[in-house]
A and B are shown apart, each in its own frame.
Chain A
């Protein structure tokens, strides 16, 4: 099976812009989670989607949003970008929710200038 695929892998934006990141889960996986990884804060949970419904949301401002489509692909959006949003955004999929067993993608590295 193909692994979790994230696009784009790298992108550079300027403050105030918005960005959309995409994640294609492993075939058959219905849960998609997003994490932000930074040197200062480490890995932090953003949100999880399961069968197109948001299950949980982490402690991030409303500028961070996401959605999941009927084919389980997911997107996350960050509006009004700030310098502090520079990070590696990791997507992880799982066949089920409530397992904690995640299959991670390689991440999308966002740089905000």
Chain B
């Protein structure tokens, strides 16, 4: 069965510091990986997906199939980045929109 692990429940960094939110997955097939974010008092929303290979709000994430990881990175954290971040996996076997989510990491960016 597929599984997504986010080892850190809480990550605290200072403004301007680099940030890396870790995501590891287990799945025997070829997955699609996503990062979703929930800012305070807002809905859960898509931040980025590995297929797009985009940088959104300064965040990037590279799918490393060898290490089965999809870490989210930003070189200089901003206070507005403080939020709950979820890594999610979609299987490639006619899974529809069924996502397996990790437990989430709360990012706190201190001034």
Residues of A within 8 A of B (CB): 3-4, 31, 33, 35, 42-45, 48, 50, 55-56, 58, 90, 92, 94, 97-106
The interface size of chain B toward A, counting residues with CB under 8 Å, comes to 22
CB pair A105–B95 under 8 Å, yes or no, is: no
Candidates A3, A55, A102; contact of B46 at CB < 8 Å: A102
Interface hit among B14-22, B62-70, B100-108: B100-108
Interface 1/0 per residue, B24-60 and A, CB below 8 Å: 0000000010101000000111100100000000000
Give A38 Cβ to nearest chain B Cβ, in Å.
11
CB closest chain-A residue, reference B95: A56
CB pair A42–B49 under 8 Å, yes or no, is: no
What are 14 residue pairs bridging A and B, where the CB atoms are less than 8 Å apart in the complex?
Answer: A31-B96, A33-B99, A42-B101, A45-B98, A45-B99, A48-B97, A92-B97, A98-B94, A98-B95, A98-B97, A100-B97, A102-B46, A102-B99, A103-B46
